[in-house]
């Protein structure tokens, strides 16, 4: 059996510790950003709150912008795990679309991030601020909208929606209803907007449905 290279355990231990510290920092950064915005993040603040060395946190990210970008990427992974991946197990079309709608409502309602939808919060913060952070948010937003529109187009092609259904318009209206529920729930500290949004999206889809795909009862 070959001998382990000298110093390998120490190196592995340092890498593991660095990865764990990075996860710890990003978890706290996502919590802060979802309620206070990405601008509220700083290497010094995170080091203090987590009782870590400032130099150690700086070594992981290097700048505030890199910290912000890393936080956005970490939030995207959470979003993927909670909302998108479970829905992709469903057949394409209305069934997958509805799974995405319900997954999103649950993600926001249960406060996976304390500020509701992470991307609703930071998108409003950076929508008029050109730069790498805004570009990352635009890319994620575009991918989400294309995923929704794609399911509507698949449903139309499969005969689940009327032939003249406007997938772009339906997607826009459905997502607007979700985001409004998120905003009103946060503002009024009330879960009722989620139930109203769910009913509204369901009625929107039923109005264009041919009845060939099952949609849940209200």
DSSP label at 160?
A: S
Query: In whole numbers, what is the pLDDT of the chain averaged over residues?
Result: 94
pLDDT at 171: 98
Percent of the chain with pLDDT over 70: 95
pLDDT digits (tens, 9 = 90+) for 150-186: 999 999 999 999 999 999 999 999 999 999 999 999 9
What are the boundaries of each domain within the chain? 8-208
- Specify the CATH superfamily of domain 8-208: Tetracycline Repressor, domain 2 (1.10.357.10)
Average of per-residue pLDDT across 94-101: 97
pLDDT at 56: 92
pLDDT digits (tens, 9 = 90+) for 28-60: 999 999 999 999 999 999 999 999 999 999 999
DSSP for 42-94, please give it: -HHHHHHHHT--HHHHHHHH-SHHHHHHHHHHHHHHHHIIIIIHHHTTSPTTH
First and final C-alpha spacing in the chain: 64
Question: With bands split at pLDDT 50, 70 and 90, how would you rate the model's confidence at 12?
Answer: confident
User: Torsion angle of alpha carbons 38, 193, 190, 79, nearest 10°?
Assistant: -40
DSSP label at 4?
A: P
Give φ, ψ of 161 to 5 degrees.
-120, 155
**Res 132 pLDDT > 90:** yes
Query: Exposed, middle or buried by CB within 10 Å (0-12, 13-18, 19+), for 172?
Result: middle
Q: Which residues pair with 161 in a beta bridge?
A: 209
Residue 145 CB neighbours (<10 A) = 14
Provide the angle, in degrees to the nearest 10, between the axes of the packed helices 118-126 and 8-36. 70
Helices (H) and strands (E) in the chain, counts: 10, 0
pLDDT at 1: 44
pLDDT digits (tens, 9 = 90+) for 61-90: 999 999 999 999 999 999 999 999 999 999
**Res 2 pLDDT > 50:** no
| Euclidean distance between CA atoms 194 and 84, whole angstroms | 18
């Amino acid at each position: 059996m070959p001998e382990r290279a000298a110093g390998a355990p120490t190196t592995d231990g340092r890498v593991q510790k660095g990865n764990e510290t990075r996860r710890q920092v990003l978890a706290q950064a996502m919590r802060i950003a979802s309620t206070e915005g990405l601008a509220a993040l700083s290497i010094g603040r995170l080091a203090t709150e987590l009782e870590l060395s400032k130099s150690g946190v700086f070594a992981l990210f290097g700048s505030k912008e890199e910290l912000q970008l890393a936080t956005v990427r970490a939030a995207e992974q959470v979003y993927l795990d909670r909302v998108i991946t479970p829905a992709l197990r469903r057949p394409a079309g209305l069934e997958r679309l509805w799974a995405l709608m319900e997954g999103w409502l649950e993600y926001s309602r249960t406060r996976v991030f304390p500020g509701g939808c992470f991307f609703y919060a930071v998108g409003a913060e950076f929508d008029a601020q050109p730069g790498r952070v805004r570009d990352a948010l635009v890319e994620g937003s575009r991918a989400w909208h294309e995923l929704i529109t794609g399911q509507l187009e698949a449903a139309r092609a499969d005969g689940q929606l009327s032939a003249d259904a406007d997938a772009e318009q339906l997607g826009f209206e459905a997502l607007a209803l979700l985001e409004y529920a998120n905003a009103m729930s946060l503002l009024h500290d009330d879960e009722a907007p989620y139930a109203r949004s769910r009913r509204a999206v369901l009625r929107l889809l039923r109005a264009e449905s041919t009845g060939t795909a099952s949609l849940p009862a209200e």
